[in-house]
Structure 1
């Protein structure tokens, strides 16, 4: 580590900051359904998830290899300043979507940032488009569909198996199953998402000449990435937990178990294959699938539509921010300083904006149940507190005034 320059040091710190935001942004992936059904208390759930994220970071480095060796051509001339710009794009997008309570993809934000910064500073040829398509875009399309269909079928199967069992016994049993499946998702999240930061740090070390071109992440990189994502997870991304746990569908224990099990299997399989997929998209797809799988279940489709829109914007939005940052960071020390200061200011502004309507473990489940009808109206009312329509109130007031006049007795002079 004696060859690490100040710039590479800044990149490493920024990468760990991204990893931290990834942790609290994606806590909902593992724990939203467990918290919403009451299987675990909110603080207990995020603590368990944090520990398992840390353990999962040490299991595999396949996804880290995809980031550090497969996505960007290492001999294209990129340097740590470009990696820094990519991280800035990912961090800003992560915080903006967290502020909005949207379960966006930290993975795609990171990859969009790296791609945008690389194209702006070196050119399109520095990006391995075949790896982008095969390892990023195709899994992004397939994973939530596969997980959603699996969760829908699993939910129907669980209800069919337990149709003659007492509902309270079923709920108690599946709450225990939820805890186990949530633990598996947390472990899977550590094996997939913590590795992305490992890959970015390794890419910076390779581009700065600290490591050889084919090097795997050193142990200190694995440990620091695991600790950063675990700390972020422990703080809990309560805004996104609320959206995934209560905003998409009303989840019951059997659904939560089916959704989390489907998510864990999908994530672990993709980690083994080196696919840097979005755990957010997988878990969101599973939750929607579980809502469709339960008889009488409903999905708040306009919330789902906003999520999908955010997914589509993630790569280009993070890429554009990163491209702008790259134009500055590649100008030298002054450019790196300006980007660093602007990033700190932007992060602080987003945090202060979040304090206006804070969401934490005490109010994370404070969302109205989804009605089977008028879902769009309910969704709007829950979010912004829409009062009754004035026209209705005015009509009621007019009726109240009219009734005494009609029912009053005739005066003696009439």
Structure 2
């Protein structure tokens, strides 16, 4: 029974990673598509290549370790993980269907924590026993900090680029920035792969520990990162066109220069947070970066109505995923 349930959990985890790829594809390709530097097909292929390339660089697995420790080990079971994954997949598909660029990272962590808390409560333990508060505070704080950091970096990069190129001919500058946008979108896809694939790696790792296949603190089998990076890359190739439209044009109109600044800022933010093992949202980060380039033009250049709707989705993601996971855990526990 344990072996069968472990296989189901691993399959669901990889399925989530695939869905994460096409749900978050917009983060890497929205600006490069909206500026017509690449066609949609070329863009997703470009992004997928660099999503997978991150496998060869991000070998420290710091983000995976943070996600794995969100719930206290005493309250991690295969039922908890399965409930969290199903809840995360459901919220991701719901938001994708409605074209809402919510965070795949936070829906996964919310689902995992919600199911873990429910399991702990059923055993007579408390909420603070179920989750590692320091890790949760770090993750939740970056719901706010990631888009702000991305916005600040994008404003700085935009101003630097404008000052460097103020004497350049507009037509010449635009050609150069279309080329540079290939580099910036590749950097963002690379950072996205390194950050997001690791979250599922952490989930698969703790599921194998919970099933006693590997010891706690043991070495992560190499097939786990390989499978996760492959799944997120294939998902990215499938695209998420509804979210591409929201990210690429509804927040603010983006030029090639601004695309370079936004993607560059997003890549820098993700790279820095990955270095410190912080599982941030790529969606939040690039949204903040796009808002930043809009603010350089004017406050009115940003469509704040759209932005406020996105913020509401961000606020709801963790509690909705946690609540859904709690209900699913109760159902799974009853059935199994």
Same fold judged by TM-score > 0.5?
A: yes
Separation in 1 of the partners of 2:75 and 2:23? 32
Stretches of structure 2 that go unaligned for 5 or more consecutive residues are 122-126
Q: Which has the higher helix share?
A: 2
Q: SS in structure 2 opposite 1:113? A: helix
User: How do 1:45-64 and structure 2 match up within 5 A?
Assistant: 45-58=43-56, 59-60=58-59, 61-64=61-64
Separation in 2 of the partners of 1:194 and 1:174? 29
Q: SS in structure 1 opposite 2:218? A: coil
Q: SS in structure 1 opposite 2:215? A: coil
Q: CA deviation at 1:57?
A: 3.2
Q: CA deviation at 1:199?
A: 0.6
User: How do 1:9-20 and structure 2 match up within 5 A?
Assistant: 9-20=7-18
**For residue 127 of structure 1, what is the aligned residue in structure 2?**
131
Separation in 2 of the partners of 1:191 and 1:14? 20
Q: CA deviation at 1:29?
A: 1.0
- Cα deviation 1:71-124 (Å, max 9, x = unaligned): 1111x1421111000001111110111111111000000000001101111232
The reply to whether residue 264 of structure 1 matches residue 267 of structure 2 is yes
Task: Say whether the 8 Å CA contact 1:255–1:294 is kept in structure 2.
Answer: no
**For residue 79 of structure 1, what is the aligned residue in structure 2?**
77
Aligned residues: 328
Separation in 1 of the partners of 2:144 and 2:134? 16
**For residue 42 of structure 2, what is the aligned residue in structure 1?**
44
Match for residue 143 of structure 2 among 134, 140, 143: 140
**For residue 295 of structure 2, what is the aligned residue in structure 1?**
292
Q: CA deviation at 1:4?
A: 6.8
Q: SS in structure 1 opposite 2:301? A: coil
The reply to whether residue 113 of structure 1 matches residue 111 of structure 2 is yes
Task: Say whether the 8 Å CA contact 2:103–2:283 is kept in structure 1.
Answer: yes
Q: SS in structure 1 opposite 2:83? A: helix
- Cα deviation 1:195-240 (Å, max 9, x = unaligned): 1111111111011111111124311111111111111100001111
The reply to whether residue 195 of structure 1 matches residue 193 of structure 2 is no
**For residue 223 of structure 1, what is the aligned residue in structure 2?**
226
Separation in 2 of the partners of 1:157 and 1:226? 34
Q: Which has the larger radius of gyration?
A: 1
Q: CA deviation at 1:51?
A: 1.4
- Cα deviation 1:138-182 (Å, max 9, x = unaligned): 222111101101111221221222222111111111111111010
**For residue 67 of structure 2, what is the aligned residue in structure 1?**
67
C-alpha spacing 1:175/1:6, structure 2 compared with 1 (3 Å): same
Task: Say whether the 8 Å CA contact 1:16–1:228 is kept in structure 2.
Answer: yes
CA RMSD of aligned residues (A): 1.4
Match for residue 174 of structure 1 among 172, 177, 191: 177
User: How do 1:248-397 and structure 2 match up within 5 A?
Assistant: 248-294=251-297, 298-333=301-336
The higher relative CO (CA closer than 8 Å, separation ≥ 6) is in 2
**For residue 396 of structure 1, what is the aligned residue in structure 2?**
none
Separation in 2 of the partners of 1:41 and 1:87? 33
Separation in 1 of the partners of 2:53 and 2:176? 26
Q: CA deviation at 1:297?
A: 6.8
Stretches of structure 1 that go unaligned for 5 or more consecutive residues are 334-414
The reply to whether residue 242 of structure 1 matches residue 259 of structure 2 is no
Q: SS in structure 1 opposite 2:229? A: helix
Separation in 2 of the partners of 1:297 and 1:179? 28
Q: SS in structure 2 opposite 1:331? A: helix
TM superposition outliers: structure 1 runs of 4+ over 6 Å:
none
**For residue 124 of structure 2, what is the aligned residue in structure 1?**
none
Q: CA deviation at 1:271?
A: 0.8
Q: TM-score, normalised by structure 2?
A: 0.95
Separation in 1 of the partners of 2:141 and 2:308? 20
